[in-house]
Amino acid sequence: MKALINIILLSISLTMSSNALSWNDIDKDGVPDNKDACPKTLMGVSVDARGCERQIIASLCLPTTSGETYPSQCQKVTPIVINFDFASALVDYSQWRYLAELKSFLNKYPAKFCVVGHTDNIGEAGFNQTLSYDRAVNVVQILVEDYQFSPQRFNVIGQGSTQPIADNQTEAGRALNRRVEFIVESH
């Protein structure tokens, strides 16, 4: 009998504990109400850790092959860059948010693009040339297969390690140099 009472008390205790540990999420955005900075987010909207709608860059301004910006009303380039792990051409899942921004841009503007792959300076020049090209190809593959863009909109280029944007003497600089960039083809 004492064992039965202990089991019942334990069951009541666990039920009360699970209720105490549950949290409310009135707007169903995945952020508990007690931590939600934006408690009235619309259903289905992507939110950040604070529970507020994610802000995607409203207007991208990409460089062109002629050295200008696109679209023409842009004053300053706000490039999209896809970064890569060392010696890898795989597009990491963390980089897909930038591809989503690019998707919006591609849907809005009918331009053609040079998709340019780069590497750091570690390794043999021939390997880096191939790796940079493979990086650009993999990005275009996502844009074509997952986002349904025409492959004719993209010209793939591999630059190897010839165009660093940061110091290759540091790991942080090398990480920045392992990238794919998007350049609008001028008419």
Domain ranges of the chain: 56-187
pLDDT number for residue 25: 77
Cβ neighbors of 96 (< 8 A, separation 6 or more) are 142
| pLDDT higher than threshold 60 for residue 13 | no
Q: Are 140 and 154 in contact (CB under 8 A)?
A: yes
| pLDDT higher than threshold 80 for residue 74 | yes
To which CATH superfamily is domain 56-187 assigned?
A: OmpA-like domain (3.30.1330.60)
pLDDT number for residue 147: 94
Q: Are 168 and 161 in contact (CB under 8 A)?
A: yes
pLDDT number for residue 5: 65
What is the average pLDDT across 9-36?
63
For residue 3, what pLDDT band results from cuts at 50, 70 and 90? low
pLDDT number for residue 8: 63
Lowest-pLDDT range, 47-51, 83-87, 146-150, 183-187?
Answer: 47-51
Tokens of 69: 């910006």
| pLDDT higher than threshold 70 for residue 20 | no
Cα 122 to Cα 152: distance, rounded to the nearest angstrom: 32
| pLDDT higher than threshold 90 for residue 108 | yes
pLDDT number for residue 35: 74
Pairing of strands 113-117, 179-184: antiparallel
| pLDDT higher than threshold 60 for residue 32 | yes
What is the average pLDDT across 136-162?
97
Q: Are 112 and 185 in contact (CB under 8 A)?
A: yes
pLDDT number for residue 69: 94
- How high does pLDDT run on average in the chain? 86
How many Cβ atoms are within 10 Å of 36's Cβ, its own excluded?
Answer: 20
| pLDDT higher than threshold 60 for residue 17 | no
| pLDDT higher than threshold 60 for residue 59 | yes
Cα 101 to Cα 27: distance, rounded to the nearest angstrom: 25
pLDDT number for residue 31: 73
